[in-house]
Amino acid sequence: MEAPRLERKLVAILAADVEGYSRHMERDEAATLAALSAHRVIVDDLISSFNGRITGTAGDSVLAEFASVVDAVDCAVKIQDALAVANEALPDEHRLRFRIGINVGDVMVKDGDIFGDGVNIAARLESLAEAGGICISRGVRDHVRKMGRFAFEDLGEQSVKNIDQPIRAFRLRGVDPTTAPAPISPATASPASADHSSSDGPVLRQPASPAEEAEFELTFWESIKDSGNPAEFAAYLERYPAGTFAALAETRRQALLEEAAVPAAEAAAADQEVSAVELAFWDTVKDSANPEMYSAYLERYPEGAFAALAKVRVEELGSPPP
């Protein structure tokens, strides 16, 4: 009886793994697994948001397919950006840096898994990538080069195990600054300069990508992690009940409640997404000892992601919120 014909299709293949994963596991298995789990949430969400499909995972590795080469590259860039932000919350020795390879090619499909030379080439490109970097094939480069959004480093011809012909590889060196708009940086933007086009009234938050939301959560946590006020941890838990730091936040909140024997203030963070402009505003005021700074934030963003925390800070500093 003739075997059924395998399905074949042309896709963009993204292969990713953690640089030095075995070394991390040998040094601290529990911390490495915890960091990997948190990173995988980010990676999986971004793959889904760019219309990708995860076709395989093994240990620290992820294999995904995309119908669009552009979506695959954009997803890879967002993944590396988001993981860089997430790593900032971890000690140096616990930071996990992914390498990503992207190829476009014909693959065979069986039971949802993909096979073939296209997959092998993506895995080889991944091994050529730097920690935190992205390496792509010439076919991928040709698809995205005409968009004028990325800069590349030509690595020349590379041999691939079990592939007769060498492949041309390129490292993606980020967005070309001459053709892409500069992103807003929380470290450099200010409330006065970040938004010249809007009115002076309250700003409603716009939907954020998973990568941006991860950055907002990290900024929130960095603002409260050393706090002695249980209400600030309650504010975090209200906004991020299943957040990366939720378990730690609850532990610290309970410990502070026991020490102070006072009830925790309830958080009222709005269940909306946050704009980069709001994040820049909060980054400017978050370390201030002046209650008027937090009142200004509340006037501008009455339902902002950090509104509950701002109210707590105003109360701590002795002036009622607006």
pLDDT at 199: 40
Single out the residue of 127, 124, 135 nearest to residue 161, CA to CA.
124
pLDDT of residue 268: 35
From the DSSP assignment, how many helices (H) and strands (E) are in the chain? 12, 8
pLDDT value for 299 = 87
The candidate with the shortest Cα–Cα distance to 315, out of 276, 279, 278, 264, is 264
| Chunked mean pLDDT (size 10), the chain, 322 residues | 72 94 91 92 93 90 93 93 91 93 91 86 92 94 84 87 84 62 35 38 49 74 82 84 82 81 40 63 83 86 86 77 46
pLDDT score for 185: 37
**Hunting for tokens 């030095």 — which residue is that?**
20
Res 316: pLDDT:
84
Q: Provide the residue ranges of all domains of the chain, joining segments of one domain with +.
A: 7-175, 191-317
Q: In this predicted structure, what is the pLDDT of residue 211? A: 61
Query: What local confidence, expressed as pLDDT, does residue 174 receive?
Result: 66
Q: What stretches of the chain show up as alpha helix (H) in DSSP?
A: 21-27, 29-49, 69-87, 117-128, 138-145, 191-194, 210-224, 230-239, 246-260, 276-285, 291-300, 307-317
The alpha carbon torsion through 101, 6, 160, 61 (nearest 10 deg) reads 40
Query: Both tokens of residue 262?
Result: 């006072």
- pLDDT at residue 183, rounded to an integer: 37
* pTM, two decimal places: 0.55
Pick from 171, 195, 249: which is nearest to 217 by CA? 249
pLDDT value at residue 177: 45
pLDDT of 306 reads 86
For helices 210-224 and 307-317, angle between their N-to-C axes, nearest 10 degrees: 20
pLDDT attached to residue 3: 61
Tell me which CATH code domain 7-175 carries.
3.30.70.1230
How far from each other are the two terminal CA atoms of the chain, in whole angstroms? 78
CA 162 to chain centre: 34
Q: Are strands 61-66 and 113-115 parallel, antiparallel or unpaired?
A: unpaired
Calpha distance 160→122 (Å, rounded): 10
- pLDDT attached to residue 262: 40
